[in-house]
Structure 1
Amino acid sequence: MQTIVEAAPLSNTAVWAGRVMSGLIILFMLFDSGIKLIPLDVVIQTCAELGLPTGVGFARGLGILGLVCTILYAVPQTSVLGAILLTGYMGGAIATQVRVGNPLFSHLLFGVYLGLILWGGLYLRDPRLRAILPFSR
């Protein structure tokens, strides 16, 4: 027999805060994916600085990957899968920043900041996630 655990209801303000946080991540990732799909010269230059391949195909591949993960995150039925995949995407960005020795708070932890907003927004807007990960008050 399966037991269904229900999450404690949140205030309307908390749910909207989660939607805003998720919306900010979605907008950022759409911008990030868009500049990689074109790709803008700054993308190619940044790839070179980070020691990544500088081909247009590589940049577009990253753009498509980011876009697919973002769409999965934006759709409520697949939002948890999208969050997991975006976390992996951010982890790759963090690993790249570690490898080249960029500054901690401005570059290295930027992916961590995005991940915290991403999961915080999802936690506040999705009662299924709150049921799985109940934080006691």
Structure 2
Amino acid sequence: MTDQHPTKGQLIAGRVLSGLVILFLLFDAGLKLVAPEVAIKYSPPSLGWPLDVPTMTMLGSLLLIPTLLHIWPRTAILGAILITGYLGGAIATHTRIGSPLFSHILFGVYLGLMLWGGLWLRDPRLRALIPLRAGASQ
């Protein structure tokens, strides 16, 4: 395994990607926790989730905790794994109700790619675990 540190460009790109995802996730979790009535008002009734304050609080907590874990470098990979699970639930929910593919169903995939891409660019441990190599594999 290599312990190659990221280049300055990789570090900047990784921080930008990670920052965008983190800001979105914190906003989403915060809205569900601080103003659950607003989150309920703008949630489509067809999602199949109870649209009430306890549900919004639970969903907000289930998103905030892994996002905070992801922010701290020491637990960033654990946070990314837990966020990926949360996003999988969102993808499944939108698939089940027949939401539009590119704007709703795949939105969780887009966030997941940005989340893991940003982490991969910033963290040499993850690059060592998941090396991307050009050309034929050995």
- Shared fold by TM > 0.5? yes
Structure 2: which 5+ runs fail to align? Answer: none
Say what the alpha-carbon RMSD is for the aligned residues: 1.3
Across the two proteins, how many residue pairs are aligned to each other?
Answer: 133
TM normalised by structure 1 equals 0.91
CA contact (8 A) 1:26 1:74 kept: yes
In 2, Cα distance between equivalents of 1:13 and 1:68: 29
CA contact (8 A) 1:72 1:79 kept: yes
- Describe how 1:1-137 pairs up with structure 2 within 5 A: 5-45=1-41, 46=43, 48-137=45-134
Distance in 2, matches of 1:73 and 1:129, equals 14
Provide, for residues 11-60 of structure 1, a one-character-per-residue CA deviation record: whole Å limited to 9, x for no partner: 20111100111011110001000110023434214163312111201101
| Inter-partner Cα distance in structure 2 for 1:122 and 1:106 | 24
Moved runs in structure 1, 4+ residues, more than 6 A?
none
Sequence identity percentage:
55
Unaligned runs of 5+ in 1: none
